[in-house]
Structure 1
Amino acid sequence: MLFRFITIAFLIFGSASLAYSQNTSNETDTIILKGLKQYPRRNTLPVRRPVLFPETVVLNAAADLDLKVNYWRNLTSFGLNINQAAFSENWGAGGVNSLALGGQFSYKTDYTKEDKNFASELILQYGKLNNKGQLARKTVDRIFWDNKVALKLSKSWYFFGSINFESQFDMGYAFSKDAQGNEKRTLLSKFMAPGYLTESFGFEYKPVKHFFLRIGTGTARQTFVLDKDLYLTNPKNFGVVPGKTFRNELAFQLVSSYDKDVAKNLNLKGRYSMFANYEKLSSIDNRLDLTLTANVNRLINVSLAGIILYDDDTANQIQASQTMAFGLVYKFAN
């Protein structure tokens, strides 16, 4: 009887000691691992990954999907610039009421398929300035249309043929004053006086999309002055013999273009052309156009443009112009 009692007491005491030891161990583990994630988690069931058996399916793209590739890239742009100033009659700092309005339309298209390429660019610009007490003046006036077809010869070289047209919309004047101090104007140019039509073929170097150089080994240019009386006020008559309306020249021509975003929302566009008449290589025509455009947002931009020109059929010295504009512009591409 005593032996049974001792045995039962020993079993109860041993079970209590084992339970206490396990609880103490669990509490210690909880304190040590508190705030830490355990991997793998307890009681995590193993997941068996499914076995996939891919099957190849052959599709006829032309018949089943009816896919079409568009080889054309188009970009259209509209711009409008307005500058206005007004002063009261007693404005102490002086000033003159003025209003300037300018507009621009440009369209570029490009077709590239395999080794064939066609590109066309149209630029129309016109602007007018009216100061109180003065005759109206033009700020910009240009019609420019360039077309080119090319056949790829290597990675960066093409054989090309191009045709280019340039003229203006409105009459151009030189302004002066008579003996009484009244302003007068002298006619210098008008639509198709002059007008230029240039055909060229040769080789084009185009290593990247934003730059090209055309080497026109065979180039012809026709200069039109349809107003036969223009020489009376503009003696140079743009190189056309007075009384005639047409002049043809054969020449060597270089044309290069650069159009790239040089920084975020900042675009630089430049075009240089050189025209060397084979009969008059001592006098070479040069023209450089540069435009820097900063986009304020999607609809507003600021542009700074400049032109440097030398053509002895127009003037004996270098000509230059510069304009800065702040206005609205809308572009869409497809």
Structure 2
Amino acid sequence: MTKKLFLLLFAVIGFTMQIQAQDDIQLADTLVINGETIIMLGDSVIILRPEQPVYWKKGGNFNLSIQQVSLTNWSAGGASNLALNTGVNLFANFQKDKKIWDSKLTVNFGFNRQSDRRFATRKTNDNFIFVSKYGRELTPKWYLSTQIDARTQLLSGYRYFRPSGSERDARSKISNLLAPAYIQSSTGLNYKNELKNGDKISVIGSPFTGRFTIVMDDSLSRAGAFGIIPGEMVRAEAGMSLTSATDIQLLENIRWKLDLNLFSNYEKLGNIVVNMNSVVSMKVNKYITTRIETVLIYDERVLITRSDDTKGPAIQVQNLINFGIGVDF
């Protein structure tokens, strides 16, 4: 009998403790308003907001390199000089549902100053490139896209030479702001693939491409520079084009970007206008980088004055190796 009373008392105590523990547990009230979950727990209010989709990706890069040589009473000879090269690259990419809109702006400028020569400051790099592409998805990697490609420079460009019998340099203007400027509009199929490691490949083939060459400088226009009719300021062409943009991580700290634009006029199929920009970036740390930039241009309508004073179409090549500050943002 005593044993049964003991077990009954033990059960009553356990049941009482369980009821008290349940009284100590505060049940939370939950409310959902416009997709936001509001949880009220005692005197606390917790708001859980759903993760918002990100439609825009924006960023860019700024680079700057400076070289200075100062000589005073230097018996080995030479000249003091200052060289600067800088550039900024900006991008804004939009993707929502089956629509994409990618835009990119590149501005580069560089000069060299040597105090002991006529025209001491001379431009070494100057370009302005804006590319914007809008597309509608056909399949996960194929789009129907329209792209605008605009290219020009910011300052006047000169050819420096020394006339026969003269001891001083002379110069003649060969380019200017919007002289030339190239605007190309193309519509076609776009293959676009972004890999998991961040590598990007985009290729657009367009059988419907319009290309406009603009020369807004009166003296260059009258001379028929850059293939326009003398006295005119705009030359319009219809043709086909192939445009590609590649962004690949070669090694852990080495990245390669290549932009290629090929255009052929329907009137002269096979005569291709080439614009190629290649940039290899090698990061030393977060702020120090080495950049190897190569620009290649070929346009048979642009007549180049060669070193032997003959004129004709030629492959234009610009190579730059910069070591300096490089900041991604």
Amino acid at match of 2:92: T
SS at match of 2:267: coil
Give the equivalent residue in structure 1 for 2:326.
329
Amino acid at match of 1:81: S
CA displacement at 1:61 relative to structure 2: 7.8
Give the equivalent residue in structure 2 for 1:18.
none
Are residues 1:185 and 2:171 paired? yes
* Cα distance in 1, alignment partners of residues 224 and 321 from structure 2: 30
* Cα distance in 1, alignment partners of residues 284 and 75 from structure 2: 33
Give the equivalent residue in structure 1 for 2:220.
230
* Cα distance in 2, alignment partners of residues 90 and 164 from structure 1: 49
> Which of these residues, 237, 253, 270, is aligned with residue 265 of structure 1?
253
Does the CA-based 8 Å contact 1:165-1:195 persist in structure 2?
Answer: yes
1:22-46 CA deviation, whole Å, 9 max, x = no partner? xxxxxxxxxxxxxxxxxxxxxxxxx
Give the equivalent residue in structure 2 for 1:284.
272
> Which of these residues, 94, 111, 115, is aligned with residue 98 of structure 2?
115
Give the equivalent residue in structure 1 for 2:202.
212
> Which of these residues, 314, 317, 321, is aligned with residue 317 of structure 1?
314
Normalized against structure 1, the TM-score is what? 0.78
Give the equivalent residue in structure 2 for 1:103.
86
* Cα distance in 2, alignment partners of residues 258 and 157 from structure 1: 16
Structure 1: which 5+ runs fail to align? 1-56
SS at match of 2:218: coil
Amino acid at match of 1:189: S
Give the equivalent residue in structure 2 for 1:77.
61
Give the equivalent residue in structure 1 for 2:115.
132
> Which of these residues, 294, 305, 315, is aligned with residue 282 of structure 2?
294
SS at match of 1:108: strand
* Cα distance in 2, alignment partners of residues 318 and 330 from structure 1: 32
Amino acid at match of 1:322: N
More strand by share: 2
| Divergent runs of 4+, >3 A | 57-61
SS at match of 1:181: coil
1:215-250 CA deviation, whole Å, 9 max, x = no partner? 112111111101121156xx5511111111111111
Does the CA-based 8 Å contact 2:221-2:233 persist in structure 1?
Answer: no
1:115-151 CA deviation, whole Å, 9 max, x = no partner? 2111000011111111232322211101111101111
> Which of these residues, 127, 140, 144, is aligned with residue 159 of structure 1?
144
* Cα distance in 2, alignment partners of residues 268 and 61 from structure 1: 45
CA displacement at 1:282 relative to structure 2: 3.9
SS at match of 1:96: coil
* Cα distance in 2, alignment partners of residues 76 and 289 from structure 1: 17
Number of residues paired by the alignment? Answer: 273
Normalized against structure 2, the TM-score is what? 0.79
* Cα distance in 1, alignment partners of residues 152 and 71 from structure 2: 37
1:99-127 CA deviation, whole Å, 9 max, x = no partner? 01122111111111222111000011111
Does the CA-based 8 Å contact 1:99-1:130 persist in structure 2?
Answer: yes
* Cα distance in 1, alignment partners of residues 217 and 224 from structure 2: 13
CA displacement at 1:286 relative to structure 2: 1.2
> Which of these residues, 129, 132, 155, is aligned with residue 170 of structure 1?
155
1:266-325 CA deviation, whole Å, 9 max, x = no partner? 111111110001112142111221111111111111111112221012131211110111
> Which of these residues, 285, 292, 297, is aligned with residue 304 of structure 1?
292
Q: CA RMSD in A?
A: 1.8
Does the CA-based 8 Å contact 2:221-2:232 persist in structure 1?
Answer: no
SS at match of 2:323: strand
CA displacement at 1:176 relative to structure 2: 0.4
Sequence identity, in percent?
26
CA displacement at 1:208 relative to structure 2: 3.0
CA displacement at 1:80 relative to structure 2: 1.5
Structure 2: which 5+ runs fail to align? 1-29, 38-47, 304-312
Structure exhibiting the larger radius of gyration computed from Cα positions? 1
